[in-house]
Amino acid sequence: MKLNGARHSLVHELYLRTADETYIVARWCGNVGLGTDFLWNSAHALEKYLKAALLLNGRPIRDFNHDLVEMYDELTEIAGELLPTLLTRPPPLDIGSWHEEAPRGFLERLEQAGSPSNRYLLLGYDYRYDDLHKLDAMAYAIRRLVIGLDDLVRGADVTFREVLRDSGYLDFTPDMPLSRLIRENGMSEVRRSTLNLNFAFAPRSFDHLAGTSRAAFVEPVIYRRIFEPLSSDNREIALGGVLAAQWLLDNVSLPNSTQSRRKERAARIAKATGLPSTPVEPGLRSEIEAATKEAIARHGFVLSPENEWKLGPHLP
């Protein structure tokens, strides 16, 4: 009994179908200015496209979790020549601001801004005018690789890798949600939201309408209510920061380093090569704990019998 058919069906239904649906939602959120959900769904969609492409090219995904950058690095090992080296503005697109960026740089930003922790705006975000269109470019680049690249095309002595290298984009999954939208006649609200100014996927005959590019910067409330007070020279303000930090640490699940698996991989590479490993930034919980400890020591706060921090005597 051959596994190939079942394998493709499982990957298409578990990852590709859901990725298409999430990408469609991400585009709608981007079009109407819902920044938090645009970033979360963008990261979620690309994560599933990446996992689908890796699985169909013989790479297990059990240990990747939500690490977009590491999955993209893995896919680059398989299909580097089929992936873009730079995200450039599509020629028909007329927006005031475009920052050329390597795909990996975009994914690094999206991995943080669209992380599961940032569903609650723990980290805030910087959402740029061109991010919606960079999402389109990355979805296009990865989605077309959801095929066994070194498998032979049925009835031909040529691999899918060779076909994609010569032909750009071919859709091997006509029954998936995005494929159906592209072929659909008429102009439903969903089709308009998904394909308008989407020069990666929209067919050449698509009638694009002028749109509004959106950008936003959201500072995390944790900075205003915890980190900023903790750094204050005013003892009462700093104490307020300590109390707020302690309450948050005691009652809310906060991320520690989001790069723990990447740290382990870097350590393995360092051991194998003899090169120093890349330092990993501490997670949010560790940062709050360190800032709280520093404020307590600097201002001489004391712990009361009721287990609450108090001002205590002034330090010399």
Summarize pLDDT for 221-264 with one digit per residue, the tens: 999 999 999 999 999 999 999 999 999 999 998 887 555 455 55
| Residue 271 binned pLDDT confidence (cut-offs 50, 70, 90) | low
Closest among 213, 243, 210 to 226, alpha carbons compared: 243
pLDDT tens-digit readout, 86-101: 999 998 888 878 999 9
Using DSSP, state whether 107 is helix, strand or coil.
Answer: helix
Sign of the torsion angle spanned by Cα atoms 203, 72, 107, 21: positive
Q: Is residue 177 domain-shared with residue 248, that is, in the same domain? A: no
Using DSSP, state whether 285 is helix, strand or coil.
Answer: helix
- Look at residue 272 and tell me whether its pLDDT is greater than 60: no
pLDDT at res. 121: 87
Give dist(CA 243, CA 312) in Å, integer: 14
Name the DSSP class of 212.
Answer: -
pLDDT tens-digit readout, 19-73: 999 999 999 999 999 999 999 999 999 999 999 999 999 999 988 888 999 999 9
- Look at residue 202 and tell me whether its pLDDT is greater than 80: yes
Could you list the beta-strand ranges (E) of 114-172.
125-127
Which tops the pLDDT comparison, 119 or 104? 104
Q: Is residue 137 domain-shared with residue 73, that is, in the same domain? A: yes
| Residue 307 binned pLDDT confidence (cut-offs 50, 70, 90) | low
pTM equals 0.85
Q: Is residue 198 domain-shared with residue 228, that is, in the same domain? A: no
* Phi, psi of 89, deg, nearest 5: -65, 130
Give dist(CA 202, CA 238) in Å, integer: 54
Q: Is residue 64 domain-shared with residue 187, that is, in the same domain? A: yes
Structure tokens at 178: 């995005």
pLDDT tens-digit readout, 166-180: 877 777 888 999 999
Q: Is residue 80 domain-shared with residue 212, that is, in the same domain? A: yes
Q: Is residue 51 part of a domain?
A: yes
Last residue of a domain, which of 192, 216, 240?
A: 216
Q: Is residue 75 domain-shared with residue 207, that is, in the same domain? A: yes
Task: Domain of residue 86: give its range.
Answer: 4-216
Q: What's the whole-number mean pLDDT along residues 181-196?
A: 94
Q: Is residue 315 part of a domain?
A: no
Using DSSP, state whether 116 is helix, strand or coil.
Answer: helix
| Residue 209 binned pLDDT confidence (cut-offs 50, 70, 90) | very high
Give dist(CA 38, CA 198) in Å, integer: 15
pLDDT tens-digit readout, 123-147: 888 889 999 999 999 999 999 999 9
Q: Is residue 52 domain-shared with residue 33, that is, in the same domain? A: yes
Q: Is residue 22 domain-shared with residue 144, that is, in the same domain? A: yes
- Looking at the DSSP bridge assignments, the partners of residue 168 are none
Closest among 79, 86, 88 to 102, alpha carbons compared: 86
Q: Is residue 19 part of a domain?
A: yes
- Looking at the DSSP bridge assignments, the partners of residue 125 are 218
Domain count, the chain: 2
pLDDT at res. 158: 87
Q: What's the whole-number mean pLDDT along residues 117-121?
A: 86
